Copies of this chain bind each other. A is one copy, B any other.
């Protein structure tokens, strides 16, 4: 991932509404959530949500597909992974043991 993409992703996530939305989508997993679901769950106006979903989409952190009258959104985990990889690139000054210990501590609670 290039720096500009990383900045796009970080800027997208550095916002309360978008962080809430992205985490809801992360937690929803592969089935995703419709825009309407998100508006209800996060309690935000539809136009504000739409603007923020656009910003997340521009960063490729979410993707969408139309489903009847609704639009369903999904977290794009590949992009998330690339972003984390970029942040940790060449980390720890080449000391592999520091690096390994760091990664081991990122535990997923699911």
**A contact residues vs B (CB 8 Å cutoff):** 3, 6-7, 10-11, 13-16, 19-20, 23, 26-31, 77, 80-81, 84-85, 87-96, 98-100, 102-103, 105-110
A contact patch SS: helix
Given A10-B13, A10-B19, A90-B26, decide whether A99 and B95 contact each other with a Cβ distance below 8 A: no
Complex Cα gap A96–B13 (Å): 24
Q: Are B108 and A88 in contact (CB under 8 A)?
A: yes
Q: How far is the CB of A89 from chain B (nearest CB, A)?
A: 6
Given A81-B105, A110-B95, decide whether A88 and B26 contact each other with a Cβ distance below 8 A: yes
Q: Are B19 and A14 in contact (CB under 8 A)?
A: no
